[in-house]
A and B are shown apart, each in its own frame.
Chain A
Amino acid sequence: MSVLTADGRTVTGEVVHPGWVRACHWINAVAVLVMIGSGWQIYDASPLFRLLYFPRSIALGNWLAGALLWHFAAMWVLVINGIVYVTLGLMTGRFRRKLLPIHPSEVVATIKDALSFKLAHDDLSHYNAVQKLLYIGVICAAIVVVLSGLSIWKPVQFQELTALFGGYDVARYVHFFAMSAIVGFLVVHIALALLVPKSLRAMVSGR
């Protein structure tokens, strides 16, 4: 945590993730796990799909009231941390530098490399096209999950937002699918972090 420069560089220039990115990442990781675990418990109280429910052993909160308490507590952590992250990401130019531009030809090439197990990870500070797409995608899913969540939480006070999602009942489905997209991202994200341990180390120590 000794490095906190806004552009993520030190005198030696080896830092992959500046301190604010790492802090936001791990705070977010805890908040997201609590939101997903408690969200599954809340889902079980009135499932959207007849055949899908989440076993209590993987859901948080023990029953509906407990899950709601967790959900609406972690909500503040998630949103405040998310606002800090997105604001700094835009202000420092990190998002632009890391995530743009994405060329379709580059995406195709990266997918080919990945399928033939030839993906290079020599330079952690450089994201390949698929990484860029995934990170942009998950940031978008996070924005949708927060907005659809707000529209379910306050369908009267935020009724314009709820209407934007097609009404209360539709917003529940949107919230569910945005969660699913985030869980899908997490599966890939965590699997790759474990396959390339130095990427995990970089998110802990910065380099």
Chain B
Amino acid sequence: MRARKTIPGADPKLLIKDAAKLMPDPMRRSFLRGAASLGALAFLTGCDIIDGDTAESVLGRVSRFNDGAQALLFSKTKLAPTFPESAITRPFPFNAYYDLDEAPVVDPATYKLEISGLVDNKKPWTLDELHALPEVSQITRHCCVEGWSAIGSWQGAVLSDFLQRIGADTKAKYIWFKCAEGYTNTIDMATALHPQTQMTFKFDHKLLPRAYGFPMKIRMPTKLGYKNPKYVVAMEVTNTDHGGYWENQGYNWFGGS
């Protein structure tokens, strides 16, 4: 938690408050609140036909349109900028909707990555088997949807190589990830096949600590933080969009950067 103090421009107290504030809350569903701006808007448009539900459904549709726009902007070959070791943010912040002491504790001895969906070989993978995969490394910027960013160093296997290895149907639309604490995340296949999309087992060349998602994180420098799941225990190759923890609460589905 102390780590947050090192993020330039991010107030640690606010971040903690933010995490609490971001917990599911029925009030939150009205995206329209904000009296002054809304008053001005209603005044200018001269109508009050915009009620909460209509606005939400229109905004939801625009957000899906923005998913398409971002998929068009996404380049399969364009790499996220990389940085020297000296640029790494230390300590790298822990960030979640819960406190660090509530983060999942995964037993490496019994851990198995479950594979399902449109895949030839659904054999679960032990941590030793995963660690034996060819290792790549990247130092890239993690951008949080909240606005702050931090530069981290991640090591692991290229996800697209792994998908090939297990005989995944890469013509499928999505990959769905499930995490130890119940967090979920669906990503587009184009991003899954991006050369920098990584099954991450190490941070800064050391085994991933609990704070950063032990035993496995999916690192995608082309997506915002909430699209980079930690504590991943299962993945499914699928043509059905299963949504995700934050996406289901209003964050944009594509979440590209």
Which residue numbers of A lie inside 8 Å of B, CB to CB?
Answer: 26, 29-30, 33-34, 36-38, 41-50, 53, 56-70, 72-73, 76, 152-157, 159, 163, 168-169, 172
Which residue numbers of B lie inside 8 Å of A, CB to CB?
Answer: 8-11, 14-15, 18, 21-22, 27-28, 30-38, 40-41, 44-45, 58-60, 62-63, 66, 73-75, 78, 80-81, 141, 143-149, 221-222, 246, 249-252, 256-257
Contact across chains for A30 and B147 when beta carbons are under 8 A apart: no
Contact across chains for B8 and A62 when beta carbons are under 8 A apart: no
Contact across chains for B15 and A154 when beta carbons are under 8 A apart: no
| Chain B residues, CB < 8 A from A59 | 34, 37
CA distance A37 to B75 in the complex (A): 32
| Chain B residues, CB < 8 A from A152 | 147
Contact across chains for B9 and A66 when beta carbons are under 8 A apart: no
A-B contact pairs, 22 of them (CB 8 A): A33-B41, A37-B40, A44-B14, A46-B11, A46-B146, A56-B34, A59-B34, A59-B37, A60-B33, A60-B37, A60-B38, A61-B32, A62-B30, A62-B31, A63-B28, A65-B249, A66-B32, A66-B250, A67-B31, A69-B62, A155-B141, A156-B257
In order of increasing CB-CB distance, the 10 nearest A-B pairs are: A66-B31, A37-B37, A65-B250, A60-B34, A46-B147, A45-B146, A62-B33, A60-B37, A73-B62, A69-B59
| Chain B residues, CB < 8 A from A60 | 32-34, 37-38, 41
| Chain A residues, CB < 8 A from B148 | 46
Contact across chains for B81 and A159 when beta carbons are under 8 A apart: yes
Contact across chains for A62 and B81 when beta carbons are under 8 A apart: no
The number of inter-chain residue pairs (CB within 8 angstroms) is: 153
Contact across chains for B256 and A157 when beta carbons are under 8 A apart: yes
- Other CB < 8 Å A-B pairs besides A69-B60, A69-B250, A73-B63, 13 of them? A33-B37, A38-B34, A45-B147, A49-B9, A61-B33, A62-B27, A64-B22, A66-B33, A69-B63, A72-B62, A72-B66, A73-B62, A168-B141
Which residue on chain A has the smallest CB distance to residue B246? A65
Contact partner of B144 among A46, A49, A53, A70, CB < 8 A? Answer: A46
Which residue on chain B has the smallest CB distance to residue A158? B73
| Chain A residues, CB < 8 A from B28 | 62-63, 65-66
CA distance A46 to B21 in the complex (A): 13
| Chain A residues, CB < 8 A from B38 | 37, 60
CA distance A53 to B80 in the complex (A): 31
| Chain A residues, CB < 8 A from B15 | 46
Contact across chains for A157 and B41 when beta carbons are under 8 A apart: no
Contact across chains for B11 and A50 when beta carbons are under 8 A apart: yes
Which residue on chain A has the smallest CB distance to residue B10? A46
CA distance A163 to B58 in the complex (A): 34
| Chain B residues, CB < 8 A from A29 | 44
Which residue on chain B has the smallest CB distance to residue A58? B36
Contact across chains for A168 and B41 when beta carbons are under 8 A apart: no
**A48, A58, A62 — most chain B CB neighbours (10 Å):** A62
Contact partner of A157 among B11, B40, B78, B146, CB < 8 A? Answer: B78
Expressed in whole angstroms, the minimum distance between the Cβ of B244 and any Cβ of chain A is 12
In the complex with contacts A62-B28, A156-B81, A76-B147 CB distance below 8 A: no
Expressed in whole angstroms, the minimum distance between the Cβ of A96 and any Cβ of chain B is 30
